[in-house]
Amino acid sequence: MKGLINILHSDRSLQLGVIIISVICLFSILGPLLSPYHYNTQNLSESFQRPSWSHPLGTDFFGRDLLTRLMYGGRITLTVAFSATLFAVIIGTIVGLASGFIGGWLDRILMRLVDILLGFPKLFVILLLVGMGYTSLGLVVTFLALFSWMEIARIVRSDVWVAKEQLYVKSAEALGLRRRRIIFRHILPNITGPLIVSTVLLISSLILIESSLSFLGLGVQPPNASWGTILNEGRVDPVGAWWISVFSGIIIVTCVIGFNLIGDGLRNILDPKTGKKT
């Protein structure tokens, strides 16, 4: 715990990022409990109201309180992004470890697969899948994960490649330890740094992809709403009801900036060479 606080203090962007993300998480988790409104109760008499004391961020076409909707949207957006990231990291780590440690033909096949998948324009493919009727939240998460693990796999593979040649791994091999033990006790713990950085950056890029999908009307479907869905609702009248697109956009940008700051901060700590001077 003390070590954690020390790490937090060592980098400004990390600090800022952690604060932003904590606030957004609290906002999304606790916010709806405190709000007097329900995110999906329509009240057409209050349609398209400007920000006011009773509706700090205004209301949408159906008279729903925007602040409450953004809080709920945060739950969906973050859940989708976190769970897709988790899947992607698991797949990517397994593929990267197998590819890097076992090598040979397995490595060639897996890396060819990675090349092929990286060549697909992500949004086209996911759009196609979701657009063809596979719209449930679980499937959206799965599709996002299936097309995002490749970068992780590449990073893990190249790190394993380096770690494998380290003398401590050679020593462990010489001891006659089993492969599984060498991978999980000697290699994996020593490549977690870059893995964590790319995981954090993946979260932010998945928030963007999910938002784009929902923005196109193909991601999270009503009555559920992610930030992207809400932004899409604001597209109807970006000038007359400016508050919808402005505020939903601001929260997406802030959240993505938060994760990027954390990622950058962690990278600076792990590899001070590429980042800013501290």
Partner 1 sequence: MVSYVIKRIAESIPTIIIGITLTFLVIHLSPGDPGSRFMDPSQPSEYREILQNRFGLNDALHIQYIKWLKQVLFHFDFGNSFYNGKPASGMVFSALRPTMLLAICSLIFALIVGIFLGIIAAVYRDALPDRILTAKMMFFFSTPSFWLGIMLLGIFSIKLGWFPASHLTSLYHDQLNWSGRFADYVHHLILPVITLGLPLSATFYRYIRTGMIEALESEYILASRARGLSVSKLLFHYSLKNSLIPLISVLGITIPALLSGALVVEVIFSLPGLGRTMVSAVFSRDYPIILAASTLAFVTVIVGNLLADVIYSMVDPRIRIKTQGVL
Partner 2 sequence: MQFNSPPLLEVKDLCISYRKGGISSSIKGPVCAVKGVSFSVKPGETYAIVGESGSGKTSIAMSVIGFLRPLTGTIFFMNKNIWELDRSGLRRLRSNIQPVFQNSGASLNPRMSAGKIISEAFHAIVDEHEKEKALIDLLRSVGLDREILRRFPHELSGGQKQRLNIARALALKPRLIILDEPLSSQDLSTRAQLIHLLSSFKKAYLLSYILISHNLSLVRLISDRIAIMKQGVFIEEGATEQIINNPSNNYTKVLIEASNIKNVKTG
Selected binder of partner 2 within 41, 52, 54, 171 (CB under 8 A): 171
Stretch that binds partner 1, among 88-96, 111-119, 166-174, 181-189 (CB under 8 A): 111-119
Structure tokens at 144: 């996002």
Tokens of 18: 């952690």
H or E segment at 254? helix 242-270
Residue 211 as a binder of partner 1 (CB under 8 A): the answer is: yes
Question: Residue 84 binds which entry of partner 1, partner 2, none, with Cβ cut-offs from 5 to 8 Å by kind?
Answer: none
Contact partner, 245, from partner 2, partner 1, none, Cβ < 5-8 Å per class:
partner 1
Task: Assess contact for 174 and 244: CB atoms under 8 A.
Answer: no
Burial class (CB in 10 A: 0-12, 13-18, 19+), 86: middle
- Sequence-ordered list of residues with C-beta below 8 angstroms from that of 167, at least 6 positions apart, any chain: none
Whichever of 25 and 269 has its CB closer to partner 2, that residue is: 269
Residue 193 · residue 270 · CB < 8 Å: yes
Interface with partner 1 (CB under 8 A), residue from 3, 4, 124, 222: 124
Of the candidate spans 31-39, 167-175, 203-211, 228-236, the one that interacts with partner 2 by CB under 8 A turns out to be 167-175
CA 257 to CA 232: how far, in whole Å? Answer: 21
What is the x/- site pattern for partner 1, positions 221-250, by CB under 8 A?
A: -------x--x--xx--xx--x--xx--x-
Q: Does 157 bind partner 2 (CB under 8 A)?
A: no
Give which of partner 2, partner 1, none residue 170 binds (C-beta under 5 to 8 Å, depending on kind).
partner 2
Q: Which amino acid is at 179?
A: R
Strands (E), 64-214: none
Contact status: 4 vs partner 2 (CB under 8 A): no
Q: Give the residue, chosen from 128, 139, 170, 192, that forms a contact with partner 1 under the rule CB under 8 A.
A: 128
Handedness of CA 232, 262, 76, 251 (dihedral sign): negative
Tell me which of partner 2, partner 1, none is bound by residue 172, counting a contact when its beta carbon lies within the kind-specific cut-off of 5 to 8 angstroms.
Answer: partner 2
Which runs of E-coded beta strand occur in the chain?
none
Residues that bind partner 2 (CB under 8 A): 166-178, 185-186, 189-190
